[in-house]
Amino acid sequence: MAENKKVLVIGGGISGLTTAVEAAEAGLEAYIVEKNPYLGGRVAQINKYFWKLCPPNCGLEIQFKRIKNNPRVTMYTLAEVESISGEEGNFDVKLKLNPRYVNDKCVGCDACAQACPSYRSNDFNFGMNKTKAAYLPFEQAFPFKYVIDGATCPKDCMKPCLEACKYAAIDLDMKPETISLKVGAVVLATGWNPYDMNKLDILGAGKMQNVITNMMLERLASVDGPTQGKIVRPSDGKEVKNIAFVQCAGSRDENHLKYCSYICCLASLKHAMYMREQYPDSKVRIFYIDIRTPGLYENRFYWKIKDDPNVIFTKGKVAGITEDAATKDVTVEVEDIYGAGKIKVTFDMVVLATGMELTTKGSKVGTDISYTPDGLVDDAALKKGIYAVGTLKSPADVARSVQDATGAVIKCIQSVNRR
Amino acid sequence: MAEEKVEARATKTETAEKPETQVEVAKAPEPFAGIALTPDLQFVNAIIKGGGESLKKCYQCATCSVVCNLTPSDNPFPRKEMIYAQWGLKDKLFGNPDIWLCHQCSDCTAYCPRGAKPGEVLNAVRKMSIERYSVPGFLGKAVGNPGALGLLLAIPVVIFLIILGGLGHLNLESIRNEAGDIAYSSLIKSYYIDGVFVPIFFFAVISLAIGVSRYWKDLVQAAGVRPNGIGSAISSTVGEILAHKRFEKCNLTISRKLAHMLVLFSFIGLAITTAWAVLYLYGYEIMHAMGKTPYSWLLGPSPYPLTDPVKWLANISAIGLFIGIFMVMNNRKKNEEKAGKGGYYDWLLIYIIFAVMATGILSELFRLADLALLSYLIYFSHLVVVFFLFAYAPFSKMAHMVYRATAMVFAKATERDVEVK
């Protein structure tokens, strides 16, 4: 039994990393399974995160360092869980490891990328730019290793990479493999996706170039993003001086996500700050149903931003968006509930404050999940010894996710010791 | 204090510092600023009972007002009606043309993020508006109440039974006209029928007229402006109604246009048929009474041959009504999930029209098939449901045609209207 004091953590974002390192530091062995080629999840994509508004490396670095220093943490990137069987204290887990085509000898010299003839859409930047098919996911990626996208660059295409690499770090013979693990407890920390704006038919249905999601704006505002941190329009690269935020884009909506996604109001307030800092002559308008700034956030962000006369708050949910065919300016249609009636207002760019959709809705995690009436993971209904953390149970910020993840470790310790 | 700040800024940005990009900013009074409210909870419960169960789910996001293609931009509906309804502000709801400018496209209901179904709520409010304005009021309450249905049906049953009994025409099998055919005019002479329906007709017209004038008074009082150019407003309203312009602006329930058009035009066809038959009968009788030989085209008492134009119109209208009302039912079922299913009040009218049409067509078919007992029984039920349709028109959903038309006229005459092309 002692040999099975192991915990499987599915998801390498802030919640999963925290669960793994806390568990490892409490004496368990932790496996992190991450489907991306890097750890850090959504936090890694954020320009500055709540609530101290640090860049992501300031928080993630610490966790990465703890992982590096702790031999009891094993991580699998490009990995998926195929199945989980058995019971608490004694789970059999099958993992599928997808090939990276790059081994541990990689030093990150970029030679393979320079040699690579093919490009891929950069999902880290939500498709707003392209990278070579041999790429480093982002500048601070951990593990700091390149990866070759076998889908856009099949075997023959990879050959120049192999030739360019001086460190013998390219391995074209890597194949998908399946491995088995035995663990005593499982933690689901697969997190969230921004709600798919293609489903928001009255908000442009994802078809308008200058209507983007809040997460896309994070990438635009990030120095390592597609525009090196300049907030410009996707259609023509023009500086954005007049921007609108559409709150509850898919959240608090029975046709989409029933729950409040907790973070979007704060995100838009933060984005208003990005805008006002970058362009002092810019104007921001936030269309909302209710501005929700729980706890400390109210004083730290809401009142502060409200004092800025160039940030206008309009109560009323946007329910129509049109695009000017020539200028690609975007016009939103809304009822200004405090008095102006049904209005149409035109902006350079519109940001949909899309909410958090559970990743478990789209991909399997090897175990049965039941959902609450709101559509969140019903933690209590999970198999004994399997726990959900972070945004799967309730939309949350980083601080709450980390608290929750840390708390879940005690349950894992109980699970592995119960038998 | 916070609120004051918001509003102060909102005003400033909308007027003084209006950004150039704002293409259209309508100005409207702030609806709730500084009003002390006394919610009328009974009224709220009545809306909930009348089909607006979902009322309390509304969280005032205004998606509904934006997706509505029938609302004026200035002070739009139905978002404000939802809060009036939640707070039980019945005067605001009733003295407001907007509840009738709504044609229940249900685009609002389909897009409502809360399932609050503004279309259904406004429908329930409209029902209560009919109840409020119609006279006598007890009939208004009875028609909306499923428990009173039996009684309401019993009234025409008793009236027609008394007439039949009085005539001694209870042995249905044996009733034939001079030619030996089944003839409904032999069962009950048209004078008796008209003796019932003419007063019923005037009752309905007078009741509706009183109701509408009471409604108009409330509209004028609530709006605080005198309507202007009522004549042209009426003619443009009638044109719009006939062309079904507003139905065209619905997205989810666009299929209602054809259904409603069929029903409306079939009714018009049947009204012409009735007038035509009146001419045939009374024209004939009058000439006869005056000692002249009636013109040969004045056919006298029914039945009329299938080759006669009056029968063409009658049968075409009956088939149109059959198809139309069937489409109405079908559309409602098809859109039930997104638009809501409607309540007793809606379905009562639909079923009564369905019954009028079904009994009318079957009366004709059984008569032609020479099935006397069946024919007369069906004809009897036809009389009952036609009575129901007309006598209770001021209190049933049938009244929508006058109240909605009134609201449309008022809206046009007070320049509170949406552009329809």
**What is the distance between the terminal CA atoms of chain B, rounded to a whole angstrom?**
45
The confidence score (pLDDT) of residue B19 equals 43
Dist CA A55 CA A48 (whole Å): 4
> What is the value of ipTM here, to two decimals?
0.88
Q: CB distance B60–A289 less than 8 Å? A: yes
The confidence score (pLDDT) of residue A209 equals 94
Dist CA B167 CA B188 (whole Å): 8
Our CA-based measurement puts residue B20 at a distance from the nearest CA of chain A, in whole angstroms, of 9
Confirm if B356 and B386 have CB atoms less than 8 A apart: yes
State which residue of chain B sits closest to A317, comparing Cα positions.
Answer: B61
3-state secondary structure of A41: helix
The domains located in chain B, with CATH, are: 30-133 (1.10.1060.10), 137-413 (no CATH)
The confidence score (pLDDT) of residue B330 equals 92
3-state secondary structure of A172: coil
The bridge status of strand A130-132 relative to strand A119-121 is: antiparallel
Q: CB distance B76–A333 less than 8 Å? A: no
The confidence score (pLDDT) of residue B193 equals 87
State which residue of chain B sits closest to A252, comparing Cα positions.
Answer: B113
Give the ranges where B168-229 is alpha helix by DSSP (H). 184-187, 190-223
> Which two tokens mark A24?
């490892």
The confidence score (pLDDT) of residue A298 equals 81
B10 — pLDDT class (breaks 50, 70, 90): very low
- Quick one: residue B313, left, alpha or beta (phi over 0 = left, psi -120 to 50 = alpha)? alpha
> Which chain A residues are Cβ-neighbours of B74 within 8 angstroms?
341-342
The confidence score (pLDDT) of residue B7 equals 39
B33 — pLDDT class (breaks 50, 70, 90): low
Q: CB distance B113–A253 less than 8 Å? A: yes
DSSP characters for A283-338?
EEEEEESS---TTTHIIIIIHHHHT-TTEEEEES---EEEE-TTT--EEEEEEETT
Candidates 3.30.56.10, 3.50.50.60, 3.40.50.2300, 3.40.50.300; correct CATH number of A196-354? 3.50.50.60
- The residue among B298 and B202 whose pLDDT is bigger is B202
Answer whether B60 touches A (CB < 8 Å).
yes
Our CA-based measurement puts residue B68 at a distance from the nearest CA of chain A, in whole angstroms, of 10
Tell me the per-residue pLDDT of B237-260, one tens digit each, with 9 for 90 and over: 999 999 999 999 999 889 999 999
Q: A343: which residues sit within 8 A by CB, 6+ positions away?
A: A333, A334, A335, A336, B22, B24, B25, B26, B73
Of the ranges B165-169, B244-248, B349-353, which one carries the lowest mean pLDDT score? B165-169
B23 — pLDDT class (breaks 50, 70, 90): very low
Answer whether B137 touches A (CB < 8 Å).
no
Answer whether B73 touches A (CB < 8 Å).
yes
The confidence score (pLDDT) of residue A368 equals 86
Our CA-based measurement puts residue A202 at a distance from the nearest CA of chain B, in whole angstroms, of 8
Torsion, CA A388, CA A392, CA A394, CA A395, rounded to 10: 140
- Is pLDDT above 50 for B21? no
> Which two tokens mark A20?
């793994």
Dist CA B107 CA B69 (whole Å): 9
The confidence score (pLDDT) of residue B300 equals 82
Answer whether B113 touches A (CB < 8 Å).
yes
Answer whether B32 touches A (CB < 8 Å).
no
The confidence score (pLDDT) of residue B30 equals 53
Residues of chain A with pLDDT > 70: what percent? 99
Tell me the per-residue pLDDT of B58-108, one tens digit each, with 9 for 90 and over: 999 999 999 999 999 988 999 999 999 999 988 889 988 999 999 999 999
3-state secondary structure of B385: helix
The confidence score (pLDDT) of residue A157 equals 84
- Is pLDDT above 90 for B373? no
B44-70 in b/e form (b: 16+ CB < 10 A) is: bebbbebbbbbbbbbbbbbbbbbbbeb
Q: B213: which residues sit within 8 A by CB, 6+ positions away?
A: none
Q: Which of A248, A333, A338 has its CB closest to that of B66?
A: A333
Q: How far does Cα B59 stand from its chain's mean position?
A: 30
> Which chain B residues are Cβ-neighbours of A195 within 8 angstroms?
none
The bridge status of strand A90-97 relative to strand A177-183 is: antiparallel
Q: Same topology for domains A2-97+176-192+357-417 and A196-354, yes or no?
A: yes
B34 — pLDDT class (breaks 50, 70, 90): low
Q: Which of B10, B62, B115 has its CB closest to that of A335?
A: B62
The confidence score (pLDDT) of residue B355 equals 94
The confidence score (pLDDT) of residue B417 equals 67
β-sheet with A386-388: strand ranges across: A73-76, A29-33, A6-10, A185-188, A386-388
> Which chain B residues are Cβ-neighbours of A333 within 8 angstroms?
66
The bridge status of strand A242-249 relative to strand A349-354 is: parallel
**Consecutive H or E run containing B331:** helix B309-334
Tens digit of pLDDT per residue, chain A (419 long)?
Answer: 445 799 999 999 999 999 999 999 999 999 999 999 999 999 999 999 887 888 888 888 888 999 999 999 999 999 999 999 999 888 999 999 999 999 998 998 888 888 888 899 999 999 999 999 999 999 889 899 999 998 888 878 888 888 888 898 888 888 999 999 999 999 999 999 999 999 999 999 989 999 999 999 999 999 999 999 999 999 999 999 999 999 999 999 999 999 999 999 999 999 999 999 999 999 999 999 999 988 878 888 898 899 999 999 999 999 999 999 999 999 999 999 998 899 999 999 999 999 999 998 777 788 888 999 999 999 999 999 999 999 999 999 999 999 999 999 999 999 998 86
Our CA-based measurement puts residue A242 at a distance from the nearest CA of chain B, in whole angstroms, of 9
Q: CB distance A248–B61 less than 8 Å? A: yes
Question: Where in chain A are the domains?
Answer: 2-97+176-192+357-417, 111-164, 196-354
Residues of chain B with pLDDT > 70: what percent? 90
pTM metric for this prediction: 0.87
Confirm if B190 and B281 have CB atoms less than 8 A apart: yes
Q: Which residues of A touch B (CB under 8 A)?
A: 202, 242, 248, 252-256, 283, 289-290, 306, 309, 312-314, 316-320, 329, 331, 333-347
Q: Which CATH class is domain A2-97+176-192+357-417?
A: alpha beta
CB pairs under 8 A between A and B: 115
Mutation target for B interface from A259, A289, A335, A337: give the one with most B CBs within 10 A: A335
> Which chain B residues are Cβ-neighbours of A309 within 8 angstroms?
9
- The residue among B1 and B106 whose pLDDT is bigger is B106
**Residue in the structure block whose two tokens are 């009504």:** B321
Dist CA B398 CA B39 (whole Å): 30
The confidence score (pLDDT) of residue B418 equals 65
Q: How far is CA A107 from CA A42, A104, A159, B26, B413, in A?
A: 25, 8, 19, 62, 78
Q: CB distance B24–A343 less than 8 Å? A: yes
The confidence score (pLDDT) of residue B32 equals 54
Q: Which of B26, B63, B115 has its CB closest to that of A340?
A: B26
> Which chain B residues are Cβ-neighbours of A341 within 8 angstroms?
26-28, 73-76
> Which chain B residues are Cβ-neighbours of A331 within 8 angstroms?
23
Confirm if A342 and A357 have CB atoms less than 8 A apart: no
Q: CB distance A242–B19 less than 8 Å? A: yes
Q: CB distance A339–B22 less than 8 Å? A: no
> Which chain A residues are Cβ-neighbours of B24 within 8 angstroms?
343-344
> Which chain A residues are Cβ-neighbours of B30 within 8 angstroms?
338-339
B16 — pLDDT class (breaks 50, 70, 90): very low
